[in-house]
């Protein structure tokens, strides 16, 4: 199991350090692998504070180029050198607000793997797409394009993670039912099986994200094809995140 918090644009550097220091004793015995996805400006302090603990640090985005005239962007090697372990790629908010596409997601996946970062690749459908009955097609397309050029050995060596986040459930308080979440995670695992074989597909963490809370995490994570969660708002509350990480 893997539980990753996505703090989004929350917490100053000093607030971030104070928060992870609170998390360390709470999560020392966590049953899941635990990751916190922090803003760029907080990475240095958080990495230092978490050194030697069981909690890993993720960046929330990165550029696919190694260097160049990309004002305001951050490269994979910069994150790796800063001590980051994971990077969230293709979150729907990046797609919606900043022009992220399936193609740029694929480029970022390659850049992350080349830098020895573990990508958490986000896929998910809108409310309209779900209502039109095309969830499977949308999610399969997003995942398939994200993985173009990634062979079986690379997939397994990279420890790549896929996160299913229905856009209609992000920050809305609405959560996919346990069965809906498991169904789509199973669709993703089926696609991985088609490309890489069932044995490889079984080894990939597939997370659910979208209004995961302390109250619903245990039932969600108990579903056969849900291997943990990408947690938004609840990851900003130490007590809630502790419950989720141990769900």
Q: Given this model, what pLDDT does residue 187 score?
A: 98
Q: Given this model, what pLDDT does residue 173 score?
A: 78
Q: Given this model, what pLDDT does residue 171 score?
A: 77
Q: Given this model, what pLDDT does residue 150 score?
A: 98
* Three-state helix/strand/coil letters over 166-216: CHHHCCCCCCCCHHHHHHHHHHHHHHHHHHHCHHHHHCCCEEEECCCCCCC
Low-confidence ranges of the chain (pLDDT < 50): none
Q: Given this model, what pLDDT does residue 169 score?
A: 84
Catalytic residue among 91, 93, 100, 125: 91
Catalytic residue among 33, 93, 125, 165: 165
Domain residue ranges in the chain: 2-245
Helix, coil or strand: residue 217: helix
Separation of alpha carbons 131 and 98, rounded Å: 25
| 219 classed as catalytic | no
Query: Are residues 226 and 164 in contact, defined by beta-carbon separation less than 8 angstroms?
Result: no
Q: Given this model, what pLDDT does residue 170 score?
A: 80
Q: Given this model, what pLDDT does residue 54 score?
A: 98
Query: Are residues 37 and 64 in contact, defined by beta-carbon separation less than 8 angstroms?
Result: no
Q: What proportions of the chain, in percent to the nearest 5, are helix, strand and coil?
A: 50, 15, 35
User: 84 — alpha (psi -120 to 50), left (phi > 0) or beta?
Assistant: beta
Q: Given this model, what pLDDT does residue 66 score?
A: 97
The CATH architecture one would assign to domain 2-245 is Alpha-Beta Barrel (3.20)
């Amino acid at each position: 199991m893997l539980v990753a918090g996505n703090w989004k644009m929350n917490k100053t550097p000093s607030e971030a350090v104070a928060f992870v220091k609170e998390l360390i004793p709470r999560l020392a015995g966590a049953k899941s692998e635990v990751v916190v996805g922090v803003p760029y400006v907080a990475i240095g302090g958080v990495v230092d504070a978490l050194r030697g603990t069981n909690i890993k640090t993720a960046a929330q985005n990165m550029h696919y180029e190694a260097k160049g005239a990309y004002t305001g962007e951050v490269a994979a090697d910069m994150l790796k050198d800063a001590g980051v372990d994971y990077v969230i790629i293709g979150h729907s908010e990046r797609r919606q607000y900043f022009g992220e596409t399936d193609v740029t997601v694929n480029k970022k996946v390659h850049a992350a793997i080349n830098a020895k970062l573990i990508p958490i690749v986000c896929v998910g459908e809108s409310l309209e797409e779900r209502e039109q009955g095309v969830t499977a097609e949308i999610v399969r397309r997003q995942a398939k394009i994200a993985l173009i050029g990634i062979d079986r050995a690379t997939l397994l060596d990279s420890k790549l993670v896929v996160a299913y986040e229905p856009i209609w459930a992000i920050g809305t308080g609405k959560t996919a039912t346990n069965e809906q979440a498991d169904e789509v995670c199973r669709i993703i695992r089926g696609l991985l099986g088609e490309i890489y074989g069932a044995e490889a597909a079984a080894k990939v963490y597939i997370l659910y994200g979208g209004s995961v809370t302390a109250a619903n995490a245990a039932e969600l994570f108990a579903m056969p094809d849900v291997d943990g969660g990408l947690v938004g708002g609840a990851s900003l509350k130490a007590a809630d995140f502790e419950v989720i990480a141990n769900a």
